[in-house]
């Protein structure tokens, strides 16, 4: 070999194999996880995109209160320039499972086709094809039976409905619910045999001149023209163009959002590890300064020496990338694909080679690591050979040391010197701890935060039951109170977000369910509305009708403690006057008892605690395993950063530690000078990171959830803070035990080496 330093590579690897193995292992974990995540996400996204044509997914749907005549259908098709299909469904409580709702369609042949994942389509009127997720969550399989609408159905197939890739029961729901809400198909004869108490006259359509699915602007323009036609043809209950249908678009949008999140995660980890490598290499150069000085004096160029010290980190990354990509395309592919299929009712897919994943996980990190190390080493190697021979490697080495008051005890002064001499390392420790602790907090905070949200929702229910009626039907149920409920939308252009449904409630002045606090002519808004849109008492809110150009302004007179949904409360007369309802009109009951004297066919919707807590239940189910992964990664990063940097601090001060041994200090006293100093910095970093991480996480949660319907309040539970600190301290104690052994094995003759 021309460069004799290369002969040292095997010895360096052998002597530092635990450090490089840990870094290699972390690269493998990180790159394989990100590669698996991106590959599975891309494969699912491609399958979903191709599925729009393959399964003839609709351009939108609408629902009328009554079935349309053939003449009206023809008129809508001609004036709206669409091709219309009946897509009626019936929605019934599942008698086999408590608090579950099932939406059943007749098998579709021309639009919104299904994908049979297992078994066969139903052929008899008592057979059913059931959504995969609902079946999985209730341990149903081909051959099982399920009962709803007083009929028992035998499951012949596990299916995916192309227009329900995400199980949103209502477009205004904050979160989908594949636990308490399911969909399926029966034969046309089977559909006719089910009672019509809860039939929905829904129609799906294709435009004659179909817009680009990715061009929401074109889709919105066509939808605005179509709704004018629809509004003139009957009492329109619902209108959902495909670009706004959460059941269709939520999963594909999630694929893209997750890619951004996981890519940022990868690069932050790579940058931190690059700096760790740089500090490691810097420490190696400090240890081998004399050798480098001799080589430089002998004629070796900076470039030759620089290339030598980049070999091990780049080989470590290359090996980690190779193994990581192999695992990403094999073992971890299914793991991350399941993280999606456990939440979404996706059609079948195939794993695809993803060049973008290779670019993001291998090529760019490799280049990033190369550039950072190149810059750090180039700066370090600019020193002259004489300064390397003298171990004079600091630019400010000629300046006097910072003076400390002699009244400060010697041990404290010594620890302060250790801190001042290792400030860059301690800054990196802080950054590493902050990042690791943030990830741990992100993993730990979800479950208690969701539980808190659920408890607040349950404790602040308007009533145990809310019944939304199709007509104002009287009841003899004790305590049932009539009121008016309606829905308007926020104006996204003015709120800085998207249009969002707002529930309006008109209640009696002396209502026992909703105690209004605002003056006459003003409204109360829910605490969810107040927190999400930063609206306070005295402000004016503007809402619009989703099916016309009418807008309404309300002055806020109070904040009602109701965290479940975005809502506005006012007295009955005010709401009736605002929306031009007849005197005495009502369409909703509040009740703390179940109402059983109203025919089911007159009940449009029941709202119970089950519906209001679906957000927390679904997030716990769909994100629980992912949060565990985040927590594990946070701990790994934390241990890695602390171990490597604390080890570097010990190695950097090897000569000083050896000298203190010669002076008679025992291992315990030396640990108190070096390891305990690092411990102080670590604990301070843990506390500061907890405070800063809490604020950052609050901002991240606000930005993440403001695009959802409804609101989700961020709160840091005390248990999360204690767990985060506890995990940090316990893992650091393990690192301390390892480093204490390293201090113990530093020989006394180190003090006699490299003496200037």
Each residue's pLDDT tens digit, 232-269: 888 888 888 988 888 998 888 777 666 666 776 777 77
Q: Based on the domain organization, do 244 and 390 belong to the same domain?
A: yes
Whether 146 maps to a domain, the answer reads: no
Answer whether 105's CB lies under 8 Å from 87's CB.
yes
Backbone angles phi, psi at 232, to 5 degrees: -90, 0
Whether 712 maps to a domain, the answer reads: no
Answer whether 128's CB lies under 8 Å from 186's CB.
yes
Q: Which ranges in 288-409 belong to alpha helices (H)?
A: 289-297, 302-329, 331-341, 355-358, 364-380, 385-389
Give the pLDDT band (50/70/90) at residue 736.
Answer: confident
In this prediction the pTM is: 0.66
Residues 6+ apart with CB under 8 A from 109: none
For 218, the 3-state DSSP assignment is: helix
Give the pLDDT band (50/70/90) at residue 525.
Answer: very high
Query: For the residues 98-114, what does the mean pLDDT come to?
Result: 90
* Beta strand spans in 617-711 (E): none
Whether 431 maps to a domain, the answer reads: no
pLDDT at 394 over 70: no
Q: Based on the domain organization, do 248 and 388 belong to the same domain?
A: yes
Whether 546 maps to a domain, the answer reads: yes
Q: Based on the domain organization, do 387 and 520 belong to the same domain?
A: no
Angle at 415 between CA 412 and CA 419, to 5 degrees: 135
Query: For the residues 293-312, what does the mean pLDDT come to?
Result: 83
What is residue 490's DSSP assignment?
E
Output 167 or 287, whichever has higher pLDDT.
167
Q: Based on the domain organization, do 512 and 376 belong to the same domain?
A: no
Give the pLDDT band (50/70/90) at residue 469.
Answer: confident
Residues 6+ apart with CB under 8 A from 597: 475, 476, 477
| 400-446 per-position pLDDT tens digit | 556 766 677 766 777 777 777 777 767 777 877 887 788 778 778 87
Domain span at residue 480 reads 465-607
Per-residue model confidence (pLDDT) at position 135: 92
Whether 534 maps to a domain, the answer reads: yes
Answer whether 604's CB lies under 8 Å from 499's CB.
no
Of 424, 729, 458, residue with least CA distance to 612: 458
* Chosen domain end from 607, 632, 647: 607
pLDDT at 1 over 50: no
For the chain, state the CA radius of gyration: 33
First to last CA, the chain: 31
Q: Based on the domain organization, do 481 and 366 belong to the same domain?
A: no
Q: Based on the domain organization, do 562 and 474 belong to the same domain?
A: yes
Whether 692 maps to a domain, the answer reads: no
If residue 236 lies in a helix (H) or strand (E), which one and from where to where?
A: strand 236-241
Whether 510 maps to a domain, the answer reads: yes
pLDDT at 594 over 60: yes
439-467: burial string, b at 16+ Cβ within 10 Å, e else = bbbbbbbbbbbbebbbebbeeebbbebbb
680-691: burial string, b at 16+ Cβ within 10 Å, e else = ebbeebbeebbe
Answer whether 82's CB lies under 8 Å from 76's CB.
yes
Largest alpha-carbon pair distance within the chain?
A: 103
Q: Based on the domain organization, do 363 and 507 belong to the same domain?
A: no
Per-residue model confidence (pLDDT) at position 452: 79
* Chosen domain end from 399, 414, 432: 399
Q: Based on the domain organization, do 243 and 327 belong to the same domain?
A: yes
pLDDT at 755 over 60: no
pLDDT at 88 over 90: yes
Of 575, 586, 610, residue with least CA distance to 488: 575
| 608-625 per-position pLDDT tens digit | 777 777 766 666 666 666
Q: Based on the domain organization, do 470 and 548 belong to the same domain?
A: yes
Q: Based on the domain organization, do 469 and 395 belong to the same domain?
A: no
Query: For the residues 275-296, what does the mean pLDDT come to?
Result: 75
| 2-19 per-position pLDDT tens digit | 556 677 788 778 777 777
Answer whether 445's CB lies under 8 Å from 698's CB.
no
Q: At what angle do helices 675-705 and 410-421 cross, to 10 degrees?
A: 50
For 87, the 3-state DSSP assignment is: coil
Query: For the residues 50-64, what does the mean pLDDT come to?
Result: 92
Q: How far apart are CA 719 and CA 716, in angstroms?
A: 8
- Report the chain's mean pLDDT, rounded to a whole number: 82
Of 513, 515, 514, 507, residue with least CA distance to 593: 513
Q: At what angle do helices 331-341 and 17-54 cross, to 10 degrees?
A: 50
pLDDT at 38 over 80: yes
Cα 551 → chain centroid: 34
Joined together, the tokens standing for residue 463 give: 């009533």
Whether 393 maps to a domain, the answer reads: yes
Per-residue model confidence (pLDDT) at position 398: 46
Q: Based on the domain organization, do 241 and 386 belong to the same domain?
A: yes
Q: How far apart are CA 433 and CA 428, in angstroms?
A: 8
Of 42, 504, 58, 490, residue with least CA distance to 262: 42
pLDDT at 517 over 70: yes
Output 668 or 346, whichever has higher pLDDT.
346
Angle at 721 between CA 715 and CA 722, to 5 degrees: 140
Burial class (CB in 10 A: 0-12, 13-18, 19+), 597: exposed
Residues 6+ apart with CB under 8 A from 150: 95, 195
How many separate domains does the chain show? 2
Q: Which of 227-231, 305-309, 594-598 has the lowest mean pLDDT?
A: 305-309
Q: Based on the domain organization, do 358 and 496 belong to the same domain?
A: no
* Chosen domain end from 607, 642, 667: 607
Per-residue model confidence (pLDDT) at position 191: 94
């Amino acid at each position: 070999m021309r460069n004799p330093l290369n002969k040292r590579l095997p010895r360096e690897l052998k002597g530092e194999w635990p450090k490089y193995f840990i870094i290699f292992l972390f690269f493998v974990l990180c790159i394989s996880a990100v590669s698996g995540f991106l590959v599975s996400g891309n494969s699912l996204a491609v399958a979903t995109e191709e599925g729009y044509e393959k399964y003839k997914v609709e351009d939108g749907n609408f629902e009328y209160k009554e079935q349309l005549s053939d003449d009206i259908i023809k008129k809508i098709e001609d004036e709206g320039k669409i091709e219309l299909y009946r897509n009626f469904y019936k929605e019934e409580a599942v008698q086999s499972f408590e608090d579950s709702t099932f939406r059943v369609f007749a098998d579709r042949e021309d639009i919104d086709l299904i994908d049979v994942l297992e078994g066969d389509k139903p052929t008899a009127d008592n057979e059913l094809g059931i959504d995969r997720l609902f079946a999985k969550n209730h341990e149903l399989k081909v051959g099982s039976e399920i009962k709803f609408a007083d009929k028992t159905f035998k499951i012949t197939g596990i299916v995916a409905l192309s227009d329900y890739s995400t199980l949103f029961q209502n477009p205004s729901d904050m979160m989908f619910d594949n636990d308490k809400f399911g969909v399926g198909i029966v034969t046309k004869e089977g559909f006719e045999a089910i009672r019509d108490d809860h039939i929905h006259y829904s129609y799906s359509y294709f435009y004659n001149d179909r817009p680009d699915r990715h061009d929401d602007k074109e889709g919105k323009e066509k939808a605005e023209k179509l709704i004018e036609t629809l509004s003139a043809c009957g009492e329109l209950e619902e209108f959902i163009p495909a670009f706004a249908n959460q059941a269709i678009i939520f999963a594909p949008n999630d694929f893209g959002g997750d890619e951004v999140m996981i890519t940022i995660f990868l690069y932050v980890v790579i940058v931190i590890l690059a700096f760790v490598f740089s500090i490691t290499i810097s420490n190696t150069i400090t240890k081998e300064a004399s050798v480098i000085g001799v080589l430089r004096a002998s004629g070796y160029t900076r470039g030759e020496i620089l290339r030598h010290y980049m070999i091990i980190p780049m080989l470590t990354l290359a090996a980690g990338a190779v193994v990581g990509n192999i695992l990403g395309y094999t073992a971890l592919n299914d793991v991350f694909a399941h993280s999606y299929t456990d939440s979404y009712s996706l059609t079948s897919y195939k794993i695809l080679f993803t060049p973008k994943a290779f670019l993001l996980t291998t090529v760019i990190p490799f280049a990033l690591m190369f550039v950072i190390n190149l810059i750090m080493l180039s700066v370090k190697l600019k020193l002259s050979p004489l300064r390397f021979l003298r171990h004079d490697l600091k630019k400010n080495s000629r300046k006097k040391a910072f003076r400390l008051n002699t009244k400060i005890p010697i041990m404290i002064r010594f620890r302060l010197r250790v801190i001042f001499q290792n400030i860059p390392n301690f800054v990196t420790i802080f950054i590493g701890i902050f990042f690791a602790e943030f990830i741990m907090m992100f993993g730990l905070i979800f479950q208690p935060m969701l539980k808190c949200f659920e408890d607040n929702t349950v404790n602040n229910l308007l009533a145990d039951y809310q019944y939304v009626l199709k007509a104002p039907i009287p009841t003899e149920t004790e305590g049932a109170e009539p009121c008016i409920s309606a829905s308007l939308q926020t104006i996204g252009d003015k709120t800085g977000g998207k249009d969002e449904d707002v529930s309006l409630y008109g209640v009696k002045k002396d209502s026992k369910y909703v105690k209004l606090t605002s003056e006459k002519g003003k409204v109360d808004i829910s605490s969810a509305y107040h927190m999400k849109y930063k609206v306070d008492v005295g402000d004016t809110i503007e809402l619009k009708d989703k099916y016309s150009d009418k807008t309404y302004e309300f002055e806020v007179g109070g904040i009602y403690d109701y965290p479940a949904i975005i809502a506005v409360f006012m007295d009955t007369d005010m709401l009736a006057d605002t929306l031009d309802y007849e005197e005495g009109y009502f369409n909703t009951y509040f009740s703390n008892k179940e109402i059983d004297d109203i025919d089911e066919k007159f009940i449009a919707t029941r709202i119970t605690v089950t519906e209001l807590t679906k957000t927390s239940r679904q997030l716990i189910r769909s994100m629980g395993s992912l949060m565990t992964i985040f927590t594990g990664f946070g701990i790994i990063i934390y241990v890695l950063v602390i171990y490597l940097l604390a080890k570097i601090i010990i190695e950097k001060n090897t000569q000083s530690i050896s000298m203190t041994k010669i002076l008679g200090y025992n291992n315990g006293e030396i640990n108190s000078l070096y390891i305990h100093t690092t411990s102080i910095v670590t604990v301070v970093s843990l506390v500061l990171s907890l405070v800063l991480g809490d604020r950052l996480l609050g901002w991240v949660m606000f930005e993440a959830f403001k695009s959802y319907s409804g609101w989700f309040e961020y709160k840091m539970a005390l248990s999360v803070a204690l767990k985060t600190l506890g995990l940090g301290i316990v893992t650091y104690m393990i690192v301390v035990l390892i480093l204490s052994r390293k201090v113990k094995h530093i020989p006394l003759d180190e003090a006699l080496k490299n003496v200037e």
